[in-house]
Amino acid sequence: MEQIAYVNGSYVPLSEAKVSVLDRGFLFADGIYEVAAVLDGKLVDNASHLARLERSVGEIRLELPETIARIQEIQKELVARNNLVNGMVYLEVTRGADTGRDFAFPKSVRPTLVMFTAKKDIVGAPSAKTGINVITVPDIRWERRDIKSVALLAQVLAKQAAAEAGAGEAWMIQDGKVTEGGSSSAFILTQDDVIVTRQNGSEILPGCTRKAVVALAEERQLRVEERAFSIDEALAAKEAFITSATVFVQGVVAIDGKKVGSGKPGPLTDRLREIYVEFAKATAV
Ligand code: PLP
């Protein structure tokens, strides 16, 4: 059966889900997106994703065309219509389709809201067992990475370079320090058992999974430090891992071809992954 997408108030087959060529998301990347995982047919940590959506649209002065409560209803309706058990819901809101290509905000144009779903076995993903290799690339993005904007060209290039190198992610480097992954937050576990991840700020996206993992770790009296770290520090670490809505917690076993720790996902990474999966299942809506 064909997938169903949501476009501006209608549920339509994916092949018929279309927006205008004048849509500002298409012309200017003038839009915001969110991705929430689906486990057993339920949305994972969705309140956190919707809070970030509200913040992102606020930062670019874009008014949501629906309330947050209604957006969650649409997400759920789409999961149901697609019989989605495990995967993700993607949603995007743009400043709508104007009559021309003026840069300044259009007046009285309704924002575009689209959503679609995709299947993914996040819990059973083979890479969770094997871990992934990462490569490093310069971070060439704009200065407001805290906004989850659809302007993702730098990440497209970074992740293509990773794919060509047979790696699962690219860690972006600025001023000698890791900012984050192309589509994930970056963590290390130091030799003295401190979990380190870069502090939130305009240099990184405030990851929802990052936030949950930090809180879950702290609740268990694990030591967490939010600060920048270098690749040398990562290579000297016991473990490294990434977090995101669509991978949860995933071990990083090599950086630029050099082994991290034992060269396998470490025990803390495995433990945090289990803790996160438990949290995700227990709190999904
Ligand atoms: N950092 C970037 C640049 C991302 O694109 C993403 C997710 O797409 C993340 C971090 C992880 O965020 P989250 O855990 O909310 O998925």
The CATH code of the domain that includes 85 is 3.30.470.10
Q: What is residue 189's predicted lDDT score, i.e. its pLDDT?
A: 98
The pLDDT tens digits for 171-194 are 999 999 999 999 999 999 999 999
Q: Which domain holds residue 80?
A: 4-119
Q: Which of 78, 101, 119 is the last residue of a domain?
A: 119
Q: What percent of the chain has pLDDT over 90?
A: 99
Do residues 67 and 115 both lie within one domain?
yes
The pLDDT tens digits for 126-171 are 999 999 999 999 999 999 999 999 999 999 999 999 999 999 999 9
Do residues 241 and 106 both lie within one domain?
no
Q: What is the mean pLDDT of residues 230-257?
A: 98
The pLDDT tens digits for 33-65 are 999 999 999 999 999 999 999 999 999 999 999
* Under 8 Å between Cβ of 146 and 206: yes
For residue 219, give the CATH number of its domain.
Answer: 3.20.10.10
Do residues 135 and 235 both lie within one domain?
yes
Number of domains making up the chain: 2
1 Cα: distance to centroid of ligand 1 (angstroms): 30
Instruction: Check if 148 is active-site.
Output: yes
**CA distances (Å), 149 to each of 40, 156, 195, 239, in order?**
28, 13, 28, 30
Do residues 112 and 149 both lie within one domain?
no
| CA–CA distance, 186 with 174 (Å, rounded to integer) | 13
Ligand 1 neighbour 280 (Cβ under 6 A): no
Q: Determine which residue's CA is closest to atom 8 belonging to ligand 1.
A: 183
Q: What is residue 1's predicted lDDT score, i.e. its pLDDT?
A: 82
The answer to pTM > 0.75 is: yes
